[in-house]
Structure 1
Amino acid sequence: MLRYTLRQIEYAVAISDHGSVAAASARLNVAQPTLSAALAKLEQQMGLQIFIRRHAQGVSPSPAGLRFLSEARNLLSHAQDFQRGMTAAGTAVEGELSLASFATIAPAFVPALIKGFMSKHPKVGFRLAEGTQDELFAGLRSGITDLALLYAVDMTSEFNVTPLASFTPHVLLPGDHRLARLKRVPLTALRDEPFVLLDIAPSRTYFTRILESAGMTPRIAFASPSLEVVRGLVGQGLGWSILVTRPFGDHAHDGEALAVRPIADGAERGVIALASLKQMRKTTLVSAFESYCMHHFRAIGS
């Protein structure tokens, strides 16, 4: 733990520059007793005498004080550079942005967001992370993550939440499923068929809630935290699923055809949002990226 403050250092350097406590007091507009007390405490904390006091002649640095003042000026210079750098980081659209994304959202949206934002602000770099909602929350709370792109489900009051877009969940069927001929599929028509669950929070509770709202208890045959594994299992005819994210092209990784159909009886929409920790002051970079994301999602529709 530091035993001194930058304010004490500034006072000592000012006293040296002006040759006396009285002159430094007038220059800084700080009371003489305040300066004298700060200097005395600093000397005590450092265990050395910085100045030689001469009655009616001001002060002059002691031999040890000369070395101290040299290092003190260097320290203050670094502190001023640090302040200037941090001020620039807080007001300029440049620097590094730490962006985390929910695992199923990242492939669909993050690359385009980064490319579009960097084309407008070439001095910006990104540090990326993907994970579950709990992992995203932990990154925000620790300060490692500036912003998290996620579904606005089970959010707590400690976060700022900026909604970006909402998407209607869909039924995912094997391409040759008997219901694939329908334009919209009622969930109840799938009541007795095996279900493939995207088993990652908060998707798990979100999709379960949709089924419960339709009066259904799903017969879960398979569960996976991977969006593509879920799509692959459905493509192989091992069950059906409900998803929000829809990758380009209605085929699984192995080439099997998939049928994507709206839910006939409607369902709770999935809201994609940006989250940040309320106790962290937003920099200009963070605010600029939030604004860009809002315009981006508005342009692509939902």
Structure 2
Amino acid sequence: MLRFTLRQVEYAIAIWDHGSVAAASAHLGVAQPTLSASLAKLEEQVGLQIFIRHHAQGVSPSPAGLRFLGEARNLLTYAQDLQRDTAAAGNAVEGTLSLGSFATIAPAFVPQLISSFTRLHPAVTIRMAEGTQDELFSGLRRGNHDLALLYDVDMPDDLTLTPLASFVPHILLPAKHRLTRLRQVPLVALRDEPFVLLDIAPSRTYFTRILEQAGITPKIAFSSPSLEVVRGLVGQGLGYSILITRPHGDHSYAGDELAVRPIAEDVERGVIALAALKQMRKTHLVSAFETHCVTYFKTSENIL
């Protein structure tokens, strides 16, 4: 016989998400003593201390509690999906989807994906968050993201990937750079040029690897985790860059004209994919969004 209830699990997940009983109480509209009593009963029934209490500073999961909460969230997701299936004969696409996105991918694709999907499924709410690759991995593992849109580079084994599209990187140059006279730029021509690096994982290793595989040690003059700062530095004539994302209109944020040229050699392509935690059971909503993304990226006008 099951020793704990889904309500107890729901309360525990809320305490984890909000970092304290008080914050979870305010979010759920449930009295603090009720939540505290529910948590104490749950810990007694499962035989472990789920949270470590910090005086006046909320709570944090114990190591064993963190494992329990991860599986408990999976159980709660399954129960919620089962309830929706029962209510709508298994065909409903509704609820809230949490989508994480790599910072440079988000502005190019996420608004269109959200808009087109919610037009098809108006009962769906999508919450989005941008981050670095490591932040997205952490968000998936903690259950903060159902899916993450990122580049398929250095992926850990606990994630499953749905490839969406691949892109050839390009060389970004100041508009009046001498190499703009070429239709394609060989990497060797960049050997002595100052390099402006998009300094965010995994982009930094991906772009430097392209140069190193061509036998070039990049002369990094500037680096920034911001795509627009990199484009601005190039626009000011302070170096070249190698990028995948190409905003519409080849001008920097400040209005400097930029030139984009293909790389003459065949180089490693950048693959955009949707990542999910392997251990999480996919809901109808998650599966529907994955299918929508695959269809979206198959449409040629949606590709950079």
When normalised by structure 2's length, the TM-score is 0.71
Render the CA deviation track for 1:78-132: whole Å, top value 9, x for unaligned. xxxx997542446421010000000000000000001110111000001110000
**1:140 to 2:117 alignment:** no
Which residues in structure 2 correspond to 1:207-246 (within 5 Å)? Answer: 207-246=207-246
- Report deviation, 1:181: 1.6
Which residues in structure 2 correspond to 1:1-302 (within 5 Å)? Answer: 85-89=80-84, 91=90, 92-300=92-300, 302=303
Residue type at the aligned position of 1:281:
R
Instruction: Label 1:133 to 1:113 Cα distance change in 2 as closer, same or farther (>3 A).
Output: same
Instruction: Label 1:191 to 1:95 Cα distance change in 2 as closer, same or farther (>3 A).
Output: same
- Report deviation, 1:265: 1.1
- Report deviation, 1:300: 2.5
Residue type at the aligned position of 1:166:
S
How far apart are the structure 2 equivalents of 1:294 and 1:118?
16
Instruction: Label 1:183 to 1:5 Cα distance change in 2 as closer, same or farther (>3 A).
Output: closer
1:149 match: secondary structure: strand
How far apart are the structure 2 equivalents of 1:172 and 1:5?
58
Instruction: Label 1:298 to 1:4 Cα distance change in 2 as closer, same or farther (>3 A).
Output: closer
8 A Cα contact 1:211 1:217, kept in partner: yes
- Report deviation, 1:189: 0.5
8 A Cα contact 2:235 2:251, kept in partner: yes
How far apart are the structure 2 equivalents of 1:172 and 1:242?
6
Residue type at the aligned position of 1:238:
L
1:231 match: secondary structure: helix
Cα RMSD over matched residues? 1.9
How far apart are the structure 2 equivalents of 1:94 and 1:180?
50
Render the CA deviation track for 1:215-271: whole Å, top value 9, x for unaligned. 000000000000000000000000000000000110000110000011001210000
**Structure 1 moving runs of 4+ over 6 Å:** none
Larger radius of gyration: 1
Instruction: Label 1:283 to 1:236 Cα distance change in 2 as closer, same or farther (>3 A).
Output: same
Render the CA deviation track for 1:154-185: whole Å, top value 9, x for unaligned. 00110010000000000000001111121111
1:110 match: secondary structure: helix
How far apart are the structure 1 equivalents of 2:79 and 2:192?
65
8 A Cα contact 1:89 1:283, kept in partner: no
How far apart are the structure 2 equivalents of 1:84 and 1:4?
16
Match of 2:68 in 1: none
Extract unaligned runs of 5+ from structure 2: 6-43, 45-76
How far apart are the structure 2 equivalents of 1:279 and 1:206?
28
- Report deviation, 1:190: 1.2
Instruction: Label 1:4 to 1:297 Cα distance change in 2 as closer, same or farther (>3 A).
Output: closer
How far apart are the structure 2 equivalents of 1:5 and 1:163?
39
Match of 1:72 in 2: none
How far apart are the structure 1 equivalents of 2:115 and 2:146?
18
How far apart are the structure 2 equivalents of 1:219 and 1:127?
40
1:216 match: secondary structure: coil
How far apart are the structure 1 equivalents of 2:256 and 2:246?
15
8 A Cα contact 2:198 2:230, kept in partner: yes
Instruction: Label 1:127 to 1:264 Cα distance change in 2 as closer, same or farther (>3 A).
Output: same
Aligned length: 226
